[in-house]
Structure 1
Amino acid sequence: MSSPLFLCILLVVFGSYLSITAAGDGHFRHKMSAPRRLQLGCMYVSVTPLPNRAGAAVPLVHRHGPCAKSQSTDKPSSFADALHRSRVRADYIMSRSRATTMHEQEKGKVSVPAYLGTSVDSQEYVVTLGLGTPAVEQVLLLDTGSDLSWVQCAPCNSSDCYGQKDPLFDPRKSSTYAPIPCGSDVCKTLQSNHLDNGCTMNGTHSQCGFRVEYGDGSKTKGVYSNEALTLAPGVVIQDFHFGCGYKQGGPNDKFDGLLGLGGAPESLPVQTSAVYGGSFSYCLPPVSSGTGFLALGAPSNASGFSFTPMTHFVDDATSYLVKLTGISVDGKQLRIPRKVFEGGLIVDCGNIISHLPSTPYEKLRSAFRAAMTAYPLIPSDDGDTCYNFTGFSNVTVPKVALTFTGGVTVDLDVPNGLLLDGCLAFADSGPDDYVGFLGNVQMRTLEMLYDVKGARLGFRAGAC
Structure 2
Amino acid sequence: MASPLFLCILLVVFGSYLSTISAAGDVTPRPDRAGAAAPLVHRHGPCAKSPSTDKPSSFAEALHRSRVRADYIMSRALRGRDTTTTIEVVTLGLGTPAVEQVLLMDTGSDLSWVQCAPCNSTDCYPQKDPLFDPRKSSTYAPIPCGSDLCKSLQSDHFDNGCSMNGNGTQSQCGYRVEYGGGLKTRGVYSNEALTMAPGVVIKDFHFGCAYKQIGSDDKSDGLLGLGGAPESLPVQTSAVYGGSFSYCLPPVSSGTGFLALGAPSNTSGFSFTPMTPFMDYATFYLVKLTGISVGGKQLRIPPKVFEGGLIVDCGNIISHLPSTPYAELQSAFRAAMAAYPLIPSDEYDTCYNFTGYSNITVPKVALTFTGGVTVDLDVPNGVLLDGCLAFTESGLDDYVGFLGNVQMRTLEMLYDVRGGRLGFRAGAC
In the TM superposition, what is the alpha-carbon distance from 1:399 to its structure 2 partner?
Answer: 0.6
Amino acid of the structure 2 residue aligned with 1:146: S
Amino acid of the structure 2 residue aligned with 1:73: T
Q: Indicate the SS of the match to 1:94.
A: helix
In the TM superposition, what is the alpha-carbon distance from 1:331 to its structure 2 partner?
Answer: 0.7
Amino acid of the structure 2 residue aligned with 1:81: E
Q: Does 1:48 align with 2:28?
A: no
Q: Does 1:359 align with 2:339?
A: no
Matched residue, 1:58: 38
Matched residue, 2:109: 146
Q: Indicate the SS of the match to 1:126.
A: strand
In the TM superposition, what is the alpha-carbon distance from 1:164 to its structure 2 partner?
Answer: 1.1
Q: Is the 8 A contact 1:188 1:197 kept in 2?
A: no
Per-residue CA deviations over 1:361-380 (Å, capped at 9, x if unaligned) read: 00000000011111111112
In the TM superposition, what is the alpha-carbon distance from 1:163 to its structure 2 partner?
Answer: 1.1
Matched residue, 2:62: 82
Q: Indicate the SS of the match to 1:210.
A: strand
- Matches of 1:77 and 1:459 in 2, distance apart? 31
CA RMSD of aligned residues (A): 1.7
Amino acid of the structure 1 residue aligned with 2:118: P
In the TM superposition, what is the alpha-carbon distance from 1:246 to its structure 2 partner?
Answer: 0.7
In the TM superposition, what is the alpha-carbon distance from 1:117 to its structure 2 partner?
Answer: 2.7
Q: Is the 8 A contact 2:60 2:348 kept in 1?
A: no
Matched residue, 1:10: 3
The counterpart of 1:448, out of the listed 413, 417, 422, is 413
- Matches of 2:11 and 2:404 in 1, distance apart? 30
Q: Does 1:258 align with 2:223?
A: yes
Matched residue, 2:26: none
The counterpart of 2:377, out of the listed 401, 404, 412, is 412
Amino acid of the structure 2 residue aligned with 1:118: T
Q: Is the 8 A contact 1:49 1:57 kept in 2?
A: no
TM-score, scaled to structure 2? 0.93
- Matches of 1:374 and 1:50 in 2, distance apart? 45
In the TM superposition, what is the alpha-carbon distance from 1:165 to its structure 2 partner?
Answer: 1.4
Q: Indicate the SS of the match to 1:117.
A: coil
Matched residue, 2:365: 400
Q: Is the 8 A contact 2:306 2:322 kept in 1?
A: yes
In the TM superposition, what is the alpha-carbon distance from 1:242 to its structure 2 partner?
Answer: 0.2
Matched residue, 1:110: none
**Structure 1 residues 179 and 341: CA distance shift in structure 2, 3 A:** same
Amino acid of the structure 2 residue aligned with 1:144: T
Q: Does 1:348 align with 2:341?
A: no
Correspondences of 1:36-435 after superposition (within 5 Å): 42=8, 47-48=13-14, 50=16, 52-99=32-79, 116-119=81-84, 122-202=85-165, 203-382=168-347, 384-435=349-400
Percent identity of paired positions between Structure 1 and Structure 2: 83
In the TM superposition, what is the alpha-carbon distance from 1:204 to its structure 2 partner?
Answer: 2.8
- Matches of 1:253 and 1:93 in 2, distance apart? 21
In the TM superposition, what is the alpha-carbon distance from 1:77 to its structure 2 partner?
Answer: 4.9
**Structure 1 residues 396 and 49: CA distance shift in structure 2, 3 A:** farther
In the TM superposition, what is the alpha-carbon distance from 1:277 to its structure 2 partner?
Answer: 0.8
In the TM superposition, what is the alpha-carbon distance from 1:283 to its structure 2 partner?
Answer: 0.2
Amino acid of the structure 2 residue aligned with 1:98: L
In the TM superposition, what is the alpha-carbon distance from 1:59 to its structure 2 partner?
Answer: 0.2
Structure 1 unaligned spans of 5+: 1-7, 12-38, 101-115
Q: Is the 8 A contact 1:86 1:353 kept in 2?
A: yes
Matched residue, 1:17: none
Q: Where is the strand percentage greater, Structure 1 or Structure 2?
A: 1
TM-score, scaled to structure 1? 0.86
- Matches of 1:192 and 1:254 in 2, distance apart? 31
- Matches of 2:415 and 2:12 in 1, distance apart? 25
In the TM superposition, what is the alpha-carbon distance from 1:69 to its structure 2 partner?
Answer: 1.1
In the TM superposition, what is the alpha-carbon distance from 1:124 to its structure 2 partner?
Answer: 0.7
In the TM superposition, what is the alpha-carbon distance from 1:43 to its structure 2 partner?
Answer: 5.7
**Structure 1 residues 369 and 149: CA distance shift in structure 2, 3 A:** same
How many residue pairs get matched? 413
